[in-house]
Structures are given as structure tokens and as C-alpha cells.
Amino acid sequence: MDAVRIHGAVATKVKAMESKLLSNDDYLNLLRMKSITECAQYLKEKTGYGRVLADVDVDTVHRGALEGHIKKNIIYNIDKIIHYYSGSYKEFINTFFAKYEIDDLKDLAREVYKKGKIENYEDNVFIGKYSKAEPSKILAAKSVGDIIVALKDTVFEKYTSHLLDDNRRENLFRFEMALDMAYYSILQREWGKLSPEDQETIRYVYGTIGDVLNIQWIYRGKKFYNIEPEILLNYTIKLYNRLNFKKIKELCYEGSLSQFLDKARQTYYDFLFKNDETIDIYMDRRMHRYLYYYLQKIDQYTKMNLINVVAYILFLEFEARDIISIIEIIRYDVPEDEGKKYLIKNIH
């Protein structure tokens, strides 16, 4: 009964909103577009993105700005959902903004680290959305340190301020990692306040997300950065489903890459490591596509649960990623059939 009270109205709303997600045909049409302008025009006139693109001049819009508008669609839809919730549920939905804002902050930190200033920020539309930080302050940063200072008096301060007094080296990597850890700690804090039924499904789903992220992290850490096992382990996310701490630790301490791959191919997530040559190209896509269909299944079989809303928001996120991929596919003239392989959604 309680679940109906909490989720009844929003479940209906979300079902209606799901119907506005792009269809298979939309994807095909978009893939056949010849330019970014055509693509923007199609999104504006034929899809649910019309609202966020209403004031955009499709003839002059460039890639970064268009990506920003596409991400704004996520904000628009999450804001709509948030109205249906109160208290701890509202806070939990808000953590999505924490996640997106952290992605943007990391993006900007990378930019300022490379260039000493921030020039391109049109697609970083989430800045301040969760933390309530003043975007202009962050955009004025001349170093990663400045960003940390600009985050003073926000929820992120607690997780990042200690990076400042330690001036041994201003470290982009540390900042990124601290923010990622901040997200998972905020996430876990917030879901602790949900009803037991919702917590159970949320923990389960995020456990799976944690699994794929962890195994991907260990693989990349070993292959590209040669990170020591202790440190690999410390940076793993404490969200487990099929791969618990013990298994993750074993994977971290595998001596060589090939030993790791042998071991990883014995896990449930062997599909990520199919065919040595394509591992790196498709890893992200494989991971997201797996989660996409995994969530669809769960969404279908679970009723009156927070996971329905979470799934929808993640679908929105995947869709935004796909559109951004399509824009790149168009820009770099990738043939349609080849392009499809980079999309999260399986287009046929």
C-alpha cells in the first residue's frame, strides 16, 4: 500500500515520459542525416527534444552547444519527476544531478589542467545543479585548485577541501577520484533512507553497475596505467553484486594482464572481454548495452518500485550518450552500419 502511495502517480507519469524516448526509427533517421544542422532540425521538429531546442537556431548551432541542449533535456525531465516526490525520495533522485555534475566538474578540471583556463563549457550544463555552487566562479578557475576553492560551502567541500592544503602536487587524478568517491558515498547515504523494498532493488541494480565499473577499472588500470594492486583495489567502488570484495581483490592481484583476462573471462561478465582485438573499442558500449537491456528487463518485471524511475533516468542518460555518438558518427562520416555498433541501443 505504501509503495502505491509513494510511486503510484510517478509510475504513470514515467510510463508516459518513456513513450517520448526516441524510437528505433528515430535512430535510423538520425543516422542518415548528413550534417549536425539536419540532425538538430530533426530532433527539434520530430522528437521530444523540441522543447529544449525551441529557442535554438539549428543552422548555427555547433556540436558543444547542441550536446549541452541534449543534456538539458535530462535536467528538464528529472525536474519533472522530482515534483512527484518528497523527502528522502526527492533527495535520492537528486543524486543523479550529483553524478552528472561530478562528470561535468571532472570535465572542466581536465580542461583547466590542460589549458590553464576554461574555454569550452557549453555542454557542462549540470554545474551547480546539485551542489548549488556558483557556476561563474567555477568557470573562472585557472587551476584545479581554484575549482576546489569554488566548491567551498557546498556539499562537495567535505570531499575535496583536503586536497588543497596538501600542496605537494596539484593532482587532477586525485580530484577526479575524490569526486567519484564523493558520489558513491552520497548515493549510499541517500538510499539508506528509502523503504526496504526500494533499497533492495536499488542495491541490487547498483551492485551490477558497480561490478561492471570495477572490472572495467581494474582492466584499464592494469593495461594502460600499470597501477599497483593495492591502489587499484582502493579505488574500486564498494558496490558488489556478482563480484564481491574477495573476487575483486583477487582480480586486482592477478600478476599479468593475460592472467587477469583469463580470470575475468571466467566471471559472469566475460562478454566484456570477447575477442582480444575489440575489447578496448567496444568496452564502454558493451558495458552500457548490457546495463540497458538488463534494466529493461528489471523495469518490466518490477512494479511500483523506485527502480522504474531510476531505469527511466538511466535510459534518458543512455539516449543522450547515443545522440552524442550519432553526432560524432555524422561528423566523422562513419558509415551507418559501422556507426550502429557504437550505439548503446541495438538498432536494426
Partner 1 sequence: MAVEKMKTVGIVGRIADMDRICRSIVLNGSMHMLNALSEINSNYFKISASEENIEAIEESSHIRPYNASKDFGKDEQIIKSLNDIFDFQPSIDAGSIGIDYDYAQLINAMKEEYDAVKELWDEIEKKNKLVEEKKNYIKNLSYMKNVDMDIGQLLNLKYLKLRLFVISRESYGRLKGNYENIPSLVLKVAATDDNIIVMSVAPQCFDDEIERLFTSLNYQELKLPVGYSGTAQEIIEKLTGEIKNILNEIKGLKEQVQKHRGDISPAIKKAYSVLMLEKKVEIVKREAAMGKKLFFLFGYVPKSKVKRLQKELWDYFGSRIILVIDDAPVKEMAKSPPTKFKNNWIIRPFEALIRMYGLPSYDEVDPTIFFGLSYMLLFGAMFGDLGQGFVILLAGLYLTYRKKSASFGGVLSRLGGSSMVFGLLYGSVFGNEHVIPALFIRPMANINTMLILAIGLGVILMTISFLYSLINNWKRRNIEEGIFGREGLVGFLFFLTLIFTAANSYLKLADIPLSVLISIMAVLLLLNVFKEPISNLIKGSNRLYKEKITDYYTEAGFGVVETLLSFLSNTISFIRVGAFALNHAGLYLAFETMAEMINSGFGGALVLVLGNIIIIGLEGLIVFIQGLRLEYYELFSKYYSGNGVEYTPIRLNS
Q: Smallest Cα–Cα separation from 249: which of 234, 271, 259?
A: 234
17 contacts partner 1 (rule: CB under 8 A): no
Whose cell is 565499473? That residue is: 213
Task: Give the nearer residue to partner 1 in terms of CB position, either 167 or 256.
Answer: 167
Are 137 and 162 a contacting pair, CB within 8 Å?
no
Q: Residues near 156 by Cβ (< 8 Å), separated by ≥ 6?
A: 105, 131, 133, 179, 182
Give the interface segment with partner 1, choosing from 4-12, 99-107, 199-207, 230-238 (CB under 8 A).
Answer: 230-238
Are 273 and 290 a contacting pair, CB within 8 Å?
no
Question: In this structure, what are the phi and psi dihedrals at residue 259, rounded to the nearest 5 degrees?
Answer: -65, -40
- Residue 280 CB, nearest approach to partner 1 (Å): 24
220 contacts partner 1 (rule: CB under 8 A): no
User: Whole-angstrom Cα distance, residue 70 to residue 325?
Assistant: 12
> Which of residues 117, 162, 223, 274 is near partner 1 by CB under 8 A?
162
- Residue 258 CB, nearest approach to partner 1 (Å): 22
Give the interface segment with partner 1, choosing from 172-180, 206-214, 256-264, 319-327 (CB under 8 A).
Answer: 172-180
234 contacts partner 1 (rule: CB under 8 A): yes
> Which of residues 177, 209, 279, 334 is near partner 1 by CB under 8 A?
177
136 contacts partner 1 (rule: CB under 8 A): no
> Which of residues 181, 209, 279, 334 is near partner 1 by CB under 8 A?
181
Q: For residue 38, what is its C-alpha cell?
A: 539536419
231 contacts partner 1 (rule: CB under 8 A): yes
Whose cell is 558488489? That residue is: 240
Task: Convert 310-337 into a string of H (helix), E (strand) and C (coil).
Answer: HHHHHHHHHHHHHHHHHHHHHHCCCCHH
Q: Say how many C-beta atoms besides its own lie within 10 A of residue 58's C-beta.
A: 18
Task: Give the nearer residue to partner 1 in terms of CB position, either 78 or 102.
Answer: 102
Q: For residue 76, what is its C-alpha cell?
A: 528538464
193 contacts partner 1 (rule: CB under 8 A): no
User: Whole-angstrom Cα distance, residue 122 to residue 139?
Assistant: 11
Distances in Å between the Cα of 285 and the Cα atoms of 5, 16, 281 are 37, 27, 8
> Which of residues 22, 148, 233, 344 is near partner 1 by CB under 8 A?
233
Side chain identity at 326, as an amino acid letter?
I
Task: Give the nearer residue to partner 1 in terms of CB position, either 26 or 176.
Answer: 176
Whose cell is 575477442? That residue is: 275
Task: Give the nearer residue to partner 1 in terms of CB position, either 9 or 231.
Answer: 231
- Residue 228 CB, nearest approach to partner 1 (Å): 7
245 contacts partner 1 (rule: CB under 8 A): yes
- Residue 171 CB, nearest approach to partner 1 (Å): 8
- Residue 128 CB, nearest approach to partner 1 (Å): 23
235 contacts partner 1 (rule: CB under 8 A): yes
- Size of residue set near partner 1 by CB under 8 A: 22
- Residue 344 CB, nearest approach to partner 1 (Å): 30
Q: With H, G, I as helix, E, B as strand and everything else as coil, classify residue 342.
A: coil
Q: Smallest Cα–Cα separation from 67: which of 326, 296, 345?
A: 326
> Which of residues 120, 185, 259, 296 is near partner 1 by CB under 8 A?
185
Q: Say how many C-beta atoms besides its own lie within 10 A of residue 178's C-beta.
A: 18
> Which of residues 238, 263, 265, 274 is near partner 1 by CB under 8 A?
238
- Residue 293 CB, nearest approach to partner 1 (Å): 31
User: Whole-angstrom Cα distance, residue 319 to residue 28?
Assistant: 14
Are 207 and 239 a contacting pair, CB within 8 Å?
yes
Taken as a whole, the chain contains a residue count of 348
In the region spanning residues 75 to 94, those forming contacts with partner 1, defined by CB under 8 A, are none
270 contacts partner 1 (rule: CB under 8 A): no
The binding site for partner 1 (CB under 8 A) comprises: 159, 162, 165-166, 168, 171, 174, 177-178, 181, 185, 228-231, 233-235, 238, 245, 249, 253
